[in-house]
Amino acid sequence: MGDASSLVVDAHTHAFPPEWVADRSAYLGADLWFGELYKAPNARMVDATRLLAAMDDAGVEQAIMCGWPWADPGLCLEHNDYLAAASRQSQGRLAWLGTVAPESVGAAAEAERCLDLGASGIGELNADAQGFDLTSEGALVEISAVLERAARPLLLHASEPVGHRYPGKGTATPDRLLTFIANNPTLTVVLAHWGGGLPFYELMPDVAELTTNVVYDSAASTYLYRAGIFRTVLDIVGVDRVLWGSDHPVLGMKSFLRKTRQNSKLGNEELEKVLGLNARRVYRLVDTNKS
């Protein structure tokens, strides 16, 4: 596959058990957030096998699977068990993040169980979907403690305070995210969807002081921003704090990778970090390179 530095890692994908992909109807009413995003029959879902096929087609060596921000802890557990098994079967190509319902009893214990099963972190948690308040001083405190002890990151959904409206946008805006970050200064936090625009506020020195442990992923990038977002954010926060993630299958992995290489205006060394090396470091991924 070439040297390790050239390996591409998709740092933000979603996978579901195949039986859920085949028939989602039972879950549309069981979870309001899931119902909002997947009630349309053409809203794409894939299982791990189809995710691996998309990776092969795109030339992506590794991917990080997120589950879903279920409000029901039972659904979290089921999804986690599937992702753990799929990761083992992939021989390291598929890493995964555990999902927990933060307001439920036992959420921290489930986070710990996920890490024991091999999860690379916890996420993508979603304040709107799961009913927790990012601005509360005690938000995710037990889960954050589990992650800090294990030196693993937390992936949070992020929302833009402006721009077009779309299903699943939510209210996890930069101001609310920054309050959470300030309350958890030593936790590594990965913010999906370019942090809802938080990188731009890092031009303010007091914001930059709070975000040294924050990493941004590019999930759903082409849905939200022009291609220049890569160059702009790297110029503000540096090359080591951006992860390439497609949000596959919400947006296509192969086309986004091609557009990133062609239109991001990043140099070769920057691309190597953004497309793979940063994710391998942040999520402590196992090296799959066999050459």
Q: Is residue 160 in a domain?
A: yes
pLDDT top residue among 69 and 170: 69
| 132/117 Cα distance (integer angstroms) | 25
Q: Is residue 185 in a domain?
A: yes
pLDDT of residue 291 exceeding 60, the answer is no
Q: Is residue 288 in a domain?
A: no
Residues 6+ apart with CB under 8 A from 265: 227, 228, 230, 231
* pTM score of the predicted model: 0.96
Q: Is residue 80 in a domain?
A: yes
- SS3 call for 111: helix
pLDDT of residue 166: 75
Rounded to 10 degrees, the C-alpha dihedral 76/81/87/89 comes to -150
Report which of 268, 222, 213, 211 is spatially closest to residue 245, judged by C-alpha positions.
222
Q: Is residue 182 in a domain?
A: yes
pLDDT of residue 164: 81
Q: What is the pLDDT of residues 121-164, one digit of tens each?
A: 999 999 999 999 999 999 999 999 999 999 999 999 999 989 88
Domain of 201, in residue numbers: 4-15+51-282
Residues 6+ apart with CB under 8 A from 58: 8, 10, 253, 254, 257
pLDDT of residue 240 exceeding 60, the answer is yes
Contact 256, 220 (CB under 8 A): no
Please tell me the total count of domains within the chain.
1
Mean pLDDT along residues 32-60: 96
Q: Is residue 23 in a domain?
A: no
219: tokens are: 């999930």
Q: Is residue 258 in a domain?
A: yes
**Signed CA dihedral, 11, 205, 188, 68: sign only:** negative
pLDDT of residue 204 exceeding 60, the answer is yes
pLDDT of residue 287: 76
Mean pLDDT along residues 50-79: 98
Residues 6+ apart with CB under 8 A from 36: 167, 168
Q: Is residue 249 in a domain?
A: yes
Q: Treating both helix axes as pointing N-terminal to C-terminal, what angle do 73-89 and 48-58 enclose, rounded to 10 degrees? A: 50
pLDDT of residue 223: 87
* Percentage of the chain exceeding pLDDT 90: 90
* Buried b or exposed e, range 57-73, using 16+ CB within 10 angstroms: ebebbbbbbbbbbbbeb
DSSP string across 225-238: S-TTHHHHHHHHH-
pLDDT of residue 60: 98
Domain containing residue 252: CATH number: 3.20.20.140
Query: pLDDT class for 5, splitting at 50, 70, 90?
Result: low
Distances (CA, A) of 96 to 56, 194, 290: 18, 20, 21
